[in-house]
Chain A
Amino acid sequence: MPVDRPTFSESWYRVGSLRPRLRAGVQVHRQHFRGRMWHVLADPASNDFLRMSEPAYGFVALLDGRRTVADAWQIAGDRLGDAAPTQGEAIQLLGQLYASNLLMAELPPDAEGLLKRYSKRRRREVQSYLTNLLFIRIPLIDPEHFLNRWVGVFGRIFSPVGLVVWLGVLLGGGYFVAGRLGELADRTEGLFSAANLPLLYVAMIITKICHEFGHAFAVKRFGRVTGTGGEVHVMGVMLLVFLPLPYVDASSAWAFRLKRHRIVVGTAGVMVELAIAAIAAIVWEHTGNSTLSAICYNVMFIASISTLLFNGNPLLRYDAYYVLSDLVEIPNLAPRSRQYLQYLVKRYVFGAQRSRNPAHTAGERIWFVFYGIASTLYRVVIFALILLFVTDRLPKQFAIIAVLFAAVAAFMWLCVPLGKFVRYLLTSGELDRTRGRAVAATAVFIVLVAVAIGAIPAPERVRVEGVVEPVELVEVYAPEDGFIDDLRDPCAPVHPASDVVVRLRNPKLEDVIQRLKANLAGLRRRRAIATAPETRDPGEVRVLDGHIAYTERQLERFRRRRASLAVAPPQAGLWLPAQAGGMIGRFFRRGEQIGRVAALKALHIRAVVDQADKRLIDEADERVEIRVSGRPDDHLDGRLLDVFPVGDRALPSAALGYAVGGPIATDPKDAEGTTAAAPVFQVRIRPLAARSGRPRLLPGQRVVVRFELPSKPLAVQWWGALRRLLQRRFRI
């Protein structure tokens, strides 16, 4: 039948003569969403909920245990006209009510069916655990009693006075933090160091427990104020990426009539955490360098930044998501936006006329499109990051676990949805009439994607880090033994004519010169005596002249040696001392290297690549682009000179090694950080003459060199990238 909602159902006879009614404890609350009224049926005893539209409730409300279902349906039909549920819809409604344990029939309950439903529910739970490996929830305790006892105390937080106090605490924390922002930022680097991780985790547990109790007490408080339920029966542990964290089930907040209350419940966790962060800031300010201070610092980080990033992000299904969906009055925003996107495809691409539109109003549609796309992208990114993080942190011997994990993830998030889609495409009743079109559309899409990534060549690039090196490097040796008195600043431009790069002091030399000077003076004295008329001795004079000339020559020689202690640069360029600091006062033996002077005119870049990248660079274009760290928008041109074909573990500069933040993994046994963990290949690049305004290269500087590879289809590139990634990770 082409009729959308056929009035009659063949199965009506099964329910028509029954006289069911809602179970005694069931509470009904009204809620408005986007101008439509909904009724939430809730059973406080079991925490079962069912939301139904107004006409549906119009029918259900008529079931009082005296009327038959058929009578109630008839009355609803007379009252509501077209909006009344059809027989099929009425059956569906009754079925949902029954499955949610909200319905009671006059029949004794079918115990076997109950058990079957129970075990089915359990099975589904286990299945959802398995399919949601990264977010497993394990319910543990029922905190209701505890909460009831303490709600009188803690519940007061959720009042106008509480709000004022909260704001005050926040302001106080902000005041103390404001002055030390720089220091705070500096310390974030150490946050994820191995030593700090246990502290971080402790801080996380503390804040998250407070967070969850924030939700729980908010629910209790408003439940008590409004007298509508507000029960919290489940508290447990959630394994977030295998990290145990507490959670609490605050779903009974859905029954609150006031949106304000529901939103406060939703934000209570984040609010509590922010207050904790503020208190931690105050404590941190007033404690010195102690463990307490460290804990406070971690608490501040967790309770502010991470909370705002995760709980405060509506794209993830945490607190902010529920608040958002309540604020925009679209319950089940995430699944419905997914359904809506699917609906759009089914309706307009596949041409399935019978597909049901999950959007009720135009406003919802916009939200659905926006949210559906944004959250899907975000989820993909987050999952990829988590995967990378997990594989990164695992010790190498557990690499197989990472592979398994990735395989399971790929199966869950790729194969299963794909399989479902294929099944939908081939067997769905919805597509019976347009299966040809749907299959064709899918095929066209697949072909387009395949062509786009498999056939159209796209430019490919490889980026490699390198250091700038001068081509001519003249070493400066100590001309004499000596202590360094004075040294030019490292990297200062020097010129042989006017500069001295290092001034040495040699006391021995001074001594010798002094002695020679004294000698000379003595000799001259003796000569003067020998030439005096009264003591004239021509033979002696001749001898002394020879001595004086010799001593003068010697003195001259030593003076020259002393002069050479002020070392001039052998060429114009940059002065690079052998050590960065601690040179002043150091003793250098003659011929020992003090430093180097690098000629500025001819520079080249030496980069190292690992085996995986070498294969790429072998086929790369000669022309390369050079970018200087810190100035990503400017670039220089360069030319690839050569690639040393033999792999070697020596790095040309420690700057390229892991130890100081470079890209190449270094051998942990090497303290200097100039030995790579695996063989690397050296590549030399000559920069072409820089035009004015371009960044100048300086020796020792770290640069990024971009190689241009022949264009290849994206699929080929990705495959290569994946292989390189695996090669690097697992040293295959």
Chain B
Amino acid sequence: MATLPSTTWRTLTAGAGERELPKGLDAAWDAAAGRARRLTTRTSRFLRRAQKVLAWERHFANISDARLRDAAAELRDVFRRGRDTRADLERAFAVVREVAFRKIGERPFPVQVAGALALHARCVAEMATGEGKTLVATMPATVAGWRGRGCHVVTVNDYLAQRDAEWMAPVYRFCGLRVAHVDSEMEAPARRDAYAADITYLTNKEVTADFLRDRLALGRLRSLPQVLLERIDRGRASGADRLVQRGLEYAIVDEADSVLIDEAVTPLIISGQAPNPEQAKAFSEAAALAEQLEPRRDFRTNDRYREVELTPAGRRRLDALTDGRGGIWAGARRAEELVVQSLTAGVYYRRDKHYVVQDDKVVIVDEFTGRLMPDREWRDGLHQHVQAKEGLEVEPPKDTYARVSFQRFFRLYRHLAGMTGTAAEARREFWQIYHLPVVVIPTNRPCIRRVAPDRVFASAEAKWQSVVERISALHAEGRPVLIGTRSVGASEHLSELLTARELDHQVLNAVRHAEEAQIVASAGMRGRITVATNMAGRGTNIRLACGVEEIGGLVVIATERHEAGRIDRQLFGRCARQGQPGSVEAVVALDDELVRRHAPRLSGSLRTRYGGTDREVSSALTRRVFSVAQRRAERLALRQRKGVLRTDDWLDEYLGFAGREG
């Protein structure tokens, strides 16, 4: 008799809950249903229910630890059997609330309980930063743990995973649950042990990578019957025993917008070396050929789409240049493809902006955070072209063994919930792709952030000039200022300007990676000027120093609008937290990349109209350009992400003979 542990069974049947994206009228119906859900899944309902949880407070506050432990154990059995009712859930949350107070000294506020209820109802809870999302997650996580099928609490980095797991461990232990975390250094047995825990804190990268490794371990065995047959055939030594995960049941995703949307289509790839000297040589040759082509005459560039296209003249020239060469260069199409890629690498990928060269290797720089990404590579041979351009040794493209995008991976969970500071703008996407309604949970204390209207300038110089003026004025008042820039390059530019004005400031970027948390933490000190990219230091609290609150709190200046409105709001959310005062202003220019790419005609005509004026050109029209461009960019991004998912669906359907993927 072949037997399998139930955990393996869960892994193998994962994906049963996955659905294809609806099409046509179905899609329209689905979108309409999502809109209807938005109207019915009201925040007020969760808040009302939270009051019911709070009503238990007096009861549990007066009982002893032992009695509380008994109550937890009793509830655990109820949930384990799956016989829970609504009242059980409220009681369970009340118990966790009390335990949290006794063990770590924090009792969740009503809004936090409402957030927890939203998570349990499989929603994305939008909760402002600083509202204690870590604590919110404990309530649904405990309930999920009690159910005994594992619960993944997904965060964005190892540090947070470990910190949260250790911080909340006493609560879970009290409730009779084992908590563990997974970090990138762990070996397989330790991982297996961590996944076997009731609640596992981990990062999106680790959980996805483990999933892929499990798939590789299973090899061709993708379905339960196949594994059972294999087990009968070969005895115990099948791939199913090397699995580390035990199925994708319940996940609570922190920073859901970042994981589920911004990084949604970034594929996680497990790959291996595939030496191919001939191909490596071709990249260098392509670089040499590309150098012989002249811009405009031989090729045209398209800044909006960051593309290069050969002109007919360029094609003829390339033909002449490759004439007589064999191998890869024999065919015109392949030759053009290689050269165009090489030109793209040359024109649009800049050293020290998009990548740096370290130890004779090309390392990608994340444009938005400034972080180095040593384990990332560009796709489609672009990485090799950049290597060839830099004259480095070209490493052949790696062979892909397994690949899945976060988008696809998280859709595999049977219960998915998320929390983040900014979700409302992406509610369409959350619904259409993950079927998660977004619930906006109010802050515990009313937010008194003042948001000034955008100030628009005709050119970048005028904008920077105004920014510097504004900083120095605020600095004179003594208010701390945080300036958000779009890219590392922009933050360095501003830094130079500030240095020229002899304004003392801190810059947060790739180079000062190590001091990041410290810099951000001290950004709330009186008269402090901090320059950071929008993405840097996310999730770190900026504490206001004494006296700062009286003079108006932290000022956040955005120097550009981001492609997604959410990310602007993340930056704005850095000030005026937890009822503190603070203000936000955005300074933008008509030649910012956002409007140049996504509203080229409109911004172009406005640029010509205002010519080279230095003064502010803010008006309803100029402000509107930015919101139009932002909306277009958001739509484009959503369409692209849905397109990726559709392609994957197509592949799954048509490549059934290759075994199921993800």
**Contact segment of B314-322, B397-405, B581-589:** B397-405
Q: What CA separation (Å) do A710 and B661 show in the bound complex?
A: 69
CB distance from A455 to the nearest CB of B (A): 29
Residue of A nearest to B330 (CB): A81
Top 3 A-B pairs, shortest CB-CB distance: A95-B654, A113-B656, A105-B657
CB distance from A306 to the nearest CB of B (A): 37
Q: What CA separation (Å) do A485 and B576 show in the bound complex?
A: 120
Q: State whether A94 touches B655 (Cβ < 8 A).
A: yes
Interface hits, A269-299 → B, CB 8 Å:
none
Q: Mark A88-119, 1 if CB is under 8 A from B, else 0.
A: 00011011101100011101111111101100
Given contacts A1-B380, A81-B331, contact A433 B660 (CB under 8 A): no
User: Is B578 in the interface zone, CB < 8 Å from A?
Assistant: no
Q: State whether B655 touches A8 (Cβ < 8 A).
A: no
User: Is B59 in the interface zone, CB < 8 Å from A?
Assistant: no
Which residues of B have CB within 8 Å of A12? Answer: 400
Q: State whether A14 touches B658 (Cβ < 8 A).
A: yes
Q: Mark A332-358, 1 if CB is under 8 A from B, else 0.
A: 000000000000000000000000000
A–B pairs, 26, beta carbons within 8 Å: A3-B337, A5-B333, A8-B380, A8-B381, A10-B379, A11-B651, A13-B402, A14-B658, A18-B658, A20-B657, A82-B333, A82-B334, A94-B657, A95-B650, A95-B653, A95-B654, A95-B655, A99-B654, A111-B225, A112-B223, A113-B656, A116-B653, A117-B653, A419-B25, A427-B639, A433-B304
Q: What CA separation (Å) do A317 and B226 show in the bound complex?
A: 47
Cβ contact of B651, chosen from A8, A18, A95, cutoff 8 A = A95
Q: State whether A1 touches B341 (Cβ < 8 A).
A: yes
Residue of A nearest to B271 (CB): A13
**Contact segment of B178-186, B305-313, B494-502, B618-626:** B305-313
Q: State whether A113 touches B380 (Cβ < 8 A).
A: no
Cβ contact of B380, chosen from A6, A96, A98, cutoff 8 A = A6
Which residues of A have CB within 8 Å of B650? Answer: 95
CB distance from B278 to the nearest CB of A (A): 11
User: Is A432 in the interface zone, CB < 8 Å from B?
Assistant: yes
* 11 new A-B contacts at CB < 8 Å, known A14-B658, A120-B653: A1-B307, A2-B308, A8-B380, A8-B381, A14-B659, A15-B655, A96-B654, A108-B226, A109-B657, A113-B656, A420-B24
Cβ contact of A91, chosen from B267, B332, B403, B655, cutoff 8 A = B655
Q: State whether A429 touches B654 (Cβ < 8 A).
A: no
User: Is B636 in the interface zone, CB < 8 Å from A?
Assistant: yes
User: Is B214 in the interface zone, CB < 8 Å from A?
Assistant: no
Q: What CA separation (Å) do A7 and B282 show in the bound complex?
A: 14
Residue of A nearest to B652 (CB): A113
Residue of A nearest to B648 (CB): A11
Q: Mark A418-437, 1 if CB is under 8 A from B, else 0.
A: 01100000010100110010
Q: What CA separation (Å) do A98 and B658 show in the bound complex?
A: 10
CB distance from B266 to the nearest CB of A (A): 12
* Number of CB contacts from chain A to chain B under 8 A: 109
Which residues of B have CB within 8 Å of A104? Answer: 657
Q: State whether A103 touches B657 (Cβ < 8 A).
A: yes
Q: What CA separation (Å) do A4 and B333 show in the bound complex?
A: 9
Which residues of A have CB within 8 Å of B337? Answer: 1, 3, 6-7
Q: What CA separation (Å) do A109 and B658 show in the bound complex?
A: 9
Which residues of B have CB within 8 Å of A419? Answer: 25
Interface hits, B1-56 → A, CB 8 Å:
24-25
Q: State whether B309 touches A110 (Cβ < 8 A).
A: no
Interface on A for B, CB 8 Å cutoff? Answer: 1-8, 10-15, 18, 20, 81-82, 91-92, 94-96, 98-99, 103-105, 107-114, 116-117, 120, 419-420, 427, 429, 432-433, 436
Q: What CA separation (Å) do A94 and B400 show in the bound complex?
A: 19
User: Is B340 in the interface zone, CB < 8 Å from A?
Assistant: yes
Given contacts A1-B380, A5-B333, A10-B267, contact A107 B639 (CB under 8 A): no
Q: State whether B643 touches A429 (Cβ < 8 A).
A: yes
Q: State whether A98 touches B657 (Cβ < 8 A).
A: yes
CB distance from A437 to the nearest CB of B (A): 11
Residue of B336, B650, B657 with most partner-chain A CB within 10 A: B657
Q: State whether A3 touches B661 (Cβ < 8 A).
A: no
Interface on B for A, CB 8 Å cutoff? Answer: 24-25, 220, 222-223, 225-226, 267, 302, 304-305, 307-309, 330-334, 336-337, 340-341, 344, 379-381, 397, 399-403, 601, 636, 639, 643, 650-651, 653-661
Which residues of A have CB within 8 Å of B308? Answer: 2
CB distance from B556 to the nearest CB of A (A): 33
Which residues of B have CB within 8 Å of A96? Answer: 654
CB distance from A422 to the nearest CB of B (A): 11
Residue of B nearest to A114 (CB): B656
Which residues of B have CB within 8 Å of A98? Answer: 654-657
Residue of B nearest to A16 (CB): B399
Q: What CA separation (Å) do A427 and B24 show in the bound complex?
A: 12
CB distance from A434 to the nearest CB of B (A): 12
Q: State whether A107 touches B658 (Cβ < 8 A).
A: yes
Cβ contact of B332, chosen from A82, A111, A117, A427, cutoff 8 A = A82
CB distance from B274 to the nearest CB of A (A): 10
CB distance from B233 to the nearest CB of A (A): 12
Given contacts A1-B340, A10-B267, A96-B654, contact A110 B660 (CB under 8 A): yes
Which residues of A have CB within 8 Å of B344? Answer: 1
CB distance from B218 to the nearest CB of A (A): 13
Cβ contact of A432, chosen from B223, B397, B402, B636, cutoff 8 A = B636
Q: What CA separation (Å) do A20 and B659 show in the bound complex?
A: 12
Q: What CA separation (Å) do A103 and B267 show in the bound complex?
A: 29
Given contacts A1-B380, A82-B333, A110-B659, contact A99 B653 (CB under 8 A): yes
Given contacts A2-B307, A6-B337, A82-B334, contact A14 B661 (CB under 8 A): yes
Cβ contact of A107, chosen from B225, B336, B379, B659, cutoff 8 A = B659
Residue of B nearest to A108 (CB): B226
Q: State whether A91 touches B653 (Cβ < 8 A).
A: no
Q: What CA separation (Å) do A82 and B330 show in the bound complex?
A: 8
Given contacts A1-B341, A81-B330, contact A10 B658 (CB under 8 A): no
Q: What CA separation (Å) do A256 and B341 show in the bound complex?
A: 45
Q: What CA separation (Å) do A14 and B654 show in the bound complex?
A: 12
Q: What CA separation (Å) do A432 and B308 show in the bound complex?
A: 17
Residue of B305, B309, B331 with most partner-chain A CB within 10 A: B331
Residue of A nearest to B340 (CB): A3
Q: State whether B309 touches A117 (Cβ < 8 A).
A: no
Q: What CA separation (Å) do A82 and B657 show in the bound complex?
A: 28
Residue of A95, A103, A114 with most partner-chain B CB within 10 A: A95
Residue of A12, A91, A113 with most partner-chain B CB within 10 A: A113
Q: State whether B336 touches A3 (Cβ < 8 A).
A: yes
Q: What CA separation (Å) do A432 and B639 show in the bound complex?
A: 10
Which residues of B have CB within 8 Å of A11? Answer: 651, 655
Which residues of A have CB within 8 Å of B24? Answer: 420
Residue of B nearest to A120 (CB): B653
Q: What CA separation (Å) do A104 and B653 show in the bound complex?
A: 15
Which residues of B have CB within 8 Å of A109? Answer: 656-657
Q: What CA separation (Å) do A94 and B330 show in the bound complex?
A: 26
Which residues of B have CB within 8 Å of A82? Answer: 331-334
Residue of B nearest to A86 (CB): B333
Q: What CA separation (Å) do A726 and B636 show in the bound complex?
A: 46
CB distance from B603 to the nearest CB of A (A): 14
Residue of A nearest to B654 (CB): A95
Cβ contact of A18, chosen from B399, B601, B657, cutoff 8 A = B657
Q: State whether B220 touches A107 (Cβ < 8 A).
A: yes
Q: State whether B333 touches A107 (Cβ < 8 A).
A: no
CB distance from B29 to the nearest CB of A (A): 13
Residue of A nearest to B225 (CB): A111
Q: What CA separation (Å) do A11 and B403 show in the bound complex?
A: 9
Q: State whether B223 touches A110 (Cβ < 8 A).
A: yes
Residue of A nearest to B632 (CB): A435
Which residues of A have CB within 8 Å of B25? Answer: 419
Which residues of A have CB within 8 Å of B658? Answer: 14-15, 18, 105, 107
Q: What CA separation (Å) do A99 and B654 show in the bound complex?
A: 6
Q: What CA separation (Å) do A120 and B23 show in the bound complex?
A: 13
Which residues of A have CB within 8 Å of B397? Answer: 8
Q: What CA separation (Å) do A15 and B659 show in the bound complex?
A: 9
